[in-house]
Amino acid sequence: MIRLAILLAGASASLAVPAHAQDSGRGDRRKAVVVAPYIEANQVLAAEISPGDDVVTYTQVATGVDVSVQGRNNGGSASIRYERTIGYDDAVSDSSSLSGIARGYASIVPRALTVEAGALATRTRVDGNGGATLTAPRQDQSESRIYSVYAGPNVHTSVGDAEVNANYRIGYTRAEAPDAISNAPGAARVDLFDESVVQRAGAHVGLRPGAPLPVGVGIGGGIYQEDTSNLDSRVRDMHVRGDVTVPLGPSLALVGGVGYEDVEISNRDALRDAAGNPVIRADGRFVTDESGPRRIAYDVSGLIWDVGVVWRPSRRTAAEAHIGRRYDSTTYYGSFAWAPDSRSSVNLSVYDGITGFGGQLTNALASLPTDFAAIRNPVTGDLDECVSSVEGGNCLTGVLGSVRSSVFRGRGVSLSYSRQIGRMSGGFGAGYDRRTFIGAPGTVLAAANGIVDESYWLASYLSGQLGPRDSFSVNSRVQWLKSGFAGAGDATVMGAAAAYRRYLLEGLSANAAVSLDRLDSDAGRDLSTAAALLGLRYDF
């Protein structure tokens, strides 16, 4: 945890680069740098409504900081919180937790070389489905703490009429999950993700339409590799392609590309005992047979192509849609971003790719806006997996829907809407995520090959001021998980929370909050919880 705290602090510190003048269109002004530290002391009452009726109380002491840096050459946001729980009996033992989210960039050479970074520390509840979000304010043996961080440079330059772009990104993700669990008595073991390192690099050289050809042309390539500790799993994807842009009007263009791609997924088998059964580590995960051969789970190479349209009628609207051939099958992807005014935004994304859990999480972090406000559960202090931003609120809910170790092809769609109205801000997110798992024959992961997990989710939030000394916040979420694994079944996760704050003195406020959470699962017991909080907070 200390190592992750340093990484989160480093990511947020990289956002606070010395200010430069910023041209806002109304004259120069200094970059806005906001650093808002705070401390809290709260008393929490948590009750299990069903299937039991336990009621516990504990003290919650926390310190945190929210950071925002927005300027011409640097930008980013971060929210970091360290919390200590103090229990009074065996029902709640003393514990500590770190949660945070950060993303930002810094220009080393303006308009030529930038470095971006992001980090996440959060928790989820894991059951027989392989994952389910539930921020119930009580300790649970199925709780998993997830940490992820990434960083890398981006280069943009010109050589004559040609534009040159290159990038590199490295990420690390770890899940401190409970012991691998069984879906039901006699059902197969669920091997949960442990840790992975992701690397991605790419380069592209292109000519814009009219410089000097009537159409735009380019060539580029890239490599993606993810190494997961579970059974030494590896994804390696290399490609090269050429592309062309045909203008159809001042804001509309037809685009297309063709190239060659080589994708290989492999893993080793688990170590076997004398009876041929896989050996299990102390933490419940499979022991990798390091001396055994690497088995190929997926090996596809050959022609790839896609065609699509790009529409950019203004700097506030951008849309693109593509269809093509990749992974030896049809692929669809695209995006839509619309900012009707400076106080609202709509964002839609359709994706398709092969990764592991760590790769998809770092991709989601890299897609977050750099100007955001984190949304937290007002009782637990946990991140609610969405951020509020007029750049486009984004949610990580679909990514955290499953923490299985197997590599998968992930396809899905996510939609978000954010709006500021006077002194209030709100929004919602919705999405669908489909994962088709891939495992090598002759290994313990063979049983996962071709199995599909699906997740549907909705999330909403609203916050604002009721008067000069009063503020409020409400948020809610629901997620439906459908697993194709034998015995896993389906799960529905629901939660809602509300908070009220009254400012007593300069910097000092009194806080009250309530929350409700519900988990219905075919793979384990159903659980309903409620909690209430009263406390004090001081903002420095």
CATH code, 2-539: 2.40.170
Compute the average pLDDT of residues 456-472. 92
The Cβ of residue 349 has, within 10 Å, a number of other Cβ atoms equal to 19
Strands 95-109 and 162-176: unpaired
Q: What is the pLDDT of residue 126?
A: 65
Q: What is the pLDDT of residue 51?
A: 85
Q: Is 2 helix (H, G, I), strand (E, B) or coil?
A: helix
Q: What is the pLDDT of residue 141?
A: 59
User: Which of 114, 99, 121, 103 is closest to 11 using CA atoms?
Assistant: 103
User: Which of 388, 355, 39, 60 is closest to 197 using CA atoms?
Assistant: 355
Compute the average pLDDT of residues 208-218. 92
Is residue 109 within 8 Å of 95, Cβ to Cβ?
no
Amino acid (1-letter code) at residue 277: N
Domain boundaries, the chain: 2-539
Compute the average pLDDT of residues 517-538. 87
Q: What is the pLDDT of residue 131?
A: 56
Amino acid (1-letter code) at residue 313: P
What are the tens digits of pLDDT across the range 357-390?
999 999 999 989 899 888 898 998 888 778 888 7
pLDDT band at 176 (very low <50, low <70, confident <90, very high): confident
What are the tens digits of pLDDT across the range 37-92?
999 999 999 998 988 888 999 999 999 999 999 988 899 999 999 999 998 877 78
Query: DSSP assignment of 169-234, as one string?
Result: EEEEEEEE--S-EESSTTPPEEPBP-EEEEEEEEEEEEE-TTSSSSSEEEEEEEEEEEEETGGGEE
Query: DSSP assignment of 134-159, as one string?
Result: ---SS--TTEEEEEEEEEEEEEEEEE
Q: What is the pLDDT of residue 111?
A: 86
- 256 to 122, 300, 325, 376: CA distances (angstroms): 39, 22, 12, 42
* Sign of the torsion formed by the C-alpha atoms of 129, 130, 135 and 137: positive
For 470, how many CA atoms within 13 A lie in the half-sphere containing its CB?
Answer: 4
What are the tens digits of pLDDT across the range 99-113?
999 999 999 998 899
Q: What is the pLDDT of residue 190?
A: 66
**Residue 135 confidence (pLDDT) above 90:** no
**236-242 long-range Cβ contacts below 8 angstroms, 24+ apart:** 236/263, 236/264, 236/265, 237/261, 237/262, 237/263, 237/264, 237/354, 238/262, 238/263, 239/304, 241/304, 242/217, 242/218
DSSP β-bridge partners for residue 228: 196, 233
